[in-house]
Structure 1
Amino acid sequence: MKVSILFLLICTAILVVGARADAPDKTDVVVKKVQEYVKQATEAVKTAFTTVQESEAAQQARRWLSDNANLVKQQLARLKEQLAELWKLTPTS
């Protein structure tokens, strides 16, 4: 979940709780409800991130990246050399 979505949910919760408050002296109740909602939303996001990080797909992706990091570095070095050679062949004005 992106931070902007979480921020939008928090703002929406504040508006909803604020609309439900009947009197101005209930601001403490509103604040507590918003704090509870934010705590629940934070826990839900943490759980979701943990689930994604521990998923088999994420583990496979990390293994693939670590296994292929050297190959990617070699390809980037070769591309850099090719671009340098191309730059040398380009006529100057």
Structure 2
Amino acid sequence: MKASLLLVLVCAAVLAAGTRTDTPKEPEALVKKVQEYAQKAVAMAKSAFTTVQESEVAQQARQWLSDNANLMKERLARLKEQLVELWKPTPAK
């Protein structure tokens, strides 16, 4: 869930809580309702993130990254060695 979506949900909660409040003299009730809506939105976002993290695609991606990390390190080391050799001054004859 994107942060912008979470912001929209919080704004909607504020508007909904404002329309449900009986009188404008009850800011505590409004704050309490906004906090409840925000807690629900956070719980939904956490649930969505957990679902994504536990998905099979995410697990496969993590496995692929861990499998290929050493290969990438070796390739970068080899590239670094080649660049060092390339920049070495050649002896004058």
| TM-score (normalised: structure 2) | 0.74
Structure 2 residue aligned with 1:41: 41
Aligned to 2:24: 24
Work out the CA distance in 2 between the residues paired with 1:11 and 1:85: 59
Root-mean-square deviation (Å): 2.3
Between Structure 1 and Structure 2, whose CA radius of gyration is higher?
2
More RCO (CA 8 Å, sep 6+): 2
Identity across aligned pairs (percent)? Answer: 61
1:14-93 → structure 2 map (5 Å cutoff): 14-18=14-18, 20=19, 21=21, 23-86=23-86, 88=87
Could you tell which deviates more after superposition, 36-45 or 8-17? 8-17
1-structure distance, mates of 2:4, 2:83: 39
Shift of 1:30: 1.0
Q: Distance in 1 between matches of 2:82 and 2:16?
A: 59
Structure 1 gaps of 5+ residues are none
- Figure out how many residues of one structure are paired with residues of the other and give that number: 88
User: For residues 12 and 85 of structure 1, what CA distance do their matches in structure 2 show?
Assistant: 61
Q: Structure 2: state its 5+ residue gaps.
A: 89-93
